Structure 1
Amino acid sequence: MPLSAVRPSSVRSWRVELKADGLAPSYVYALHNRLSQVMSDAVHDGILVRNPCSRRTSPGAGKPRPFVATTAQVWALHDAVPAHLRPAVLLGAFVGLRTAEAVGLRVADVDFMRGVIRPVQQGPGEELKTETSRTPLPIPHELALELSAAVAEWGGDFLVTDGLRRQTSTWAIERAIRSARRKVAGLPEDFRFHDLRHYLASLLIASGLDVKVVQHRLRHGSAKTTLDTYGHLWPDSNESARAAVGAVLAARADSLRTTAADQH
């Protein structure tokens, strides 16, 4: 099709075809932007009178899926940050604390014997605003030992310190993550501390936990938030349903064959 024949309706039809082919909304959005740039250049050169691409023909950018680090990448990141900040990586990846919550977590907020973390504040003394954010979080014995050892080594009143027994800052943690990610193969340039929560979500989902459990552990306000963010990580429900029905039918067929064999 020549450029002069392209109409807004043509662009909309093309967009629908791309979506039907299974392309991600963000990719369709990027292709539309590229086409719009080409058409703008054609207008500038006098080839076209106007650009057929506009807001009316543009698809939504879509919500990009979160990047999920592998377990190997998480441990590599843990080993690459300064030793006094490694508890922060543990709290992000295996407890799901946000950056400010990791900074604000006091030693007194952790029951090492029972394996429970009770987030109370964020940053330098600001209380968490919702009951959901203050949900007690169970941790395994192994993690309790790791955190207890860090407290014994670095001292102070906070789980994550500046290495001199004082509370660290969100800025210091994010700076350490930015520096460390360059040493870990496969981590994107925009990887940040919050992305460790995505790893925890994927770990819980891969373990077979349902949406309500994952919502509770990540302290989301609703299950919709959890599904909107991580729904693509759960096994396809259609395939699960097909497998469940198939298993019943296969068991029935086996039973009939066994019965027929016994009668002969």
Structure 2
Amino acid sequence: MADTPAEKPRQSSKRKPVKRRFGRVRKLPSGRFQVRYQGPDGIDRPAPQTFATKTDAEVWLTRIEAQILDDEWINPDAGKISFGKYATDWIKERPKLRPRTIELYDYLFRKHLKPTFGDKPLSDIKEPHVRQWRKKLLDDGVSEVTLAKAYRLLKAILSTAVDDQVIKRNPCRIKGAGQEKSPERPVLTVAQVYRIVEVIEPRYRALVLLGTFASLRWGELTGLQRRDLHLDAGTVKVERQLIQITGKGLTFTDPKSAAGKRTVAIPDLITDELKTHLRYFAMDGDDGLIFVGPDNGPLRNTNFNRRVWAKALQDADLPQIHFHDLRHTGNTLAASAGASIRELMARMGHSSTRAALIYQHSTDERQREVARKLDELARGALNTSGTQRARPQNKAH
């Protein structure tokens, strides 16, 4: 009788549970599943929510493990810091911000960001919150220009929070919300500029002319010193500006950008007026301010606008335009005189082409001038080559 093979021992049909190499999943009395895992900081953490099935819990754990391995894990405790605290530190930590920029950021934060987001944890700010905030400000009558500035500040702060791995995604995702659509500023004619010059107080005549024909900002004008004006060479040198800063008063600062330090050529038309001004109204000495008030002190924008500028516009029978519109007028005149984009940038003190392009208007007169020159060029080329204009040929019958 053949030997019968020995029977193999029966294996249990019940499998032993496989221990996860990352994280733990356990079933709660409610029937839902809870997850815990150890973060890269060594702290044992629970998932922010429970899961309906064990599979859902394990999928979530797999994603967290992948984030840790890819160095994309966000510490959930980091996002608990309030937006107000983070934004305040963000403004303080920005390198080389101009005083006026710091003042603007502080205002935008205090007036438009803090009331809505100040006490809110960073991780709790979501896209719907940003949309609702923006709509409320628009409904409250905040100008689109101011709102665009506030939105850009909010987006910049939250972009840094993403870089700092405090939050995973920037909720500022409204297309075009940060773009300013400023209304077109008025452009004066040369005759209108001189109407203002004729009626304004004599000590401010040169201020109006230099603001227009050298395209200078208010702070650049009021910061000019005698040594900056070279009438023999027909130039004015911009090296500083004098601006009002809350809590500090009038302060000398650098121009708005590196390109703001520049030398601007001025037309001979205003030279005699500038000489008269230096003789009778400017401070003495090379460091003396060129434009000062009756008390021989620095000019303040608010006082000038209220006491001098408004009256001059009324006497000249002109609408209530801003003093800054003189610079806009000067830029437009320079563009009409044929200044290139680069020449306009240098004259205006800008490092980008965006602002200069505004003044490259295609006026009807300029279009006609281009057409005349094209006509002359084409006629000259035809005459030189002897080429005749093509004439339609009669079709054979």
Greater relative contact order (Cα < 8 A, sep 6+): 1
Mapped to 1, the partners of 2:213 and 2:366 lie a distance apart of 27
Preserved CA contact (<8 Å) 1:88 1:102: yes
Matched, 1:137 2:264: yes
Q: 1:1-264 alignment to 2 at 5 Å?
A: 62-123=181-242, 124-129=250-255, 130-156=257-283, 157-175=288-306, 176-185=308-317, 187-189=318-320, 191-227=321-357, 229-233=358-362, 246-254=375-383, 255-256=386-387
Preserved CA contact (<8 Å) 1:95 1:200: yes
How well do the aligned residues superpose, as a CA RMSD in angstroms? 3.2
CA shift for structure 1 position 99: 1.0
Which residue number in structure 2 is paired with residue 21 of structure 1? none
- Structure 1: give runs of 5+ residues left out of the alignment: 1-59, 258-264
Q: Secondary structure at the match of 2:315?
A: coil
Q: Secondary structure at the match of 1:232?
A: coil
Compared with structure 1, are the counterparts of its residues 235 and 159 closer, same or farther at alpha carbon in structure 2 (3 Å cutoff)? farther
CA shift for structure 1 position 85: 1.7
Which residue number in structure 2 is paired with residue 25 of structure 1? none
Moved more, 115-124 or 193-202: 115-124
Mapped to 1, the partners of 2:353 and 2:377 lie a distance apart of 31
Preserved CA contact (<8 Å) 2:224 2:238: yes
Preserved CA contact (<8 Å) 2:282 2:291: no
Compared with structure 1, are the counterparts of its residues 235 and 226 closer, same or farther at alpha carbon in structure 2 (3 Å cutoff)? farther
Moved more, 134-143 or 154-163: 134-143
CA shift for structure 1 position 248: 4.4
Structure with more of its chain in helix, by fraction: 1
CA shift for structure 1 position 236: 8.8
Q: TM-score, normalised by structure 1?
A: 0.64
Q: Percent identity?
A: 22
- Structure 2: give runs of 5+ residues left out of the alignment: 1-178, 243-249, 389-397
CA shift for structure 1 position 152: 1.0
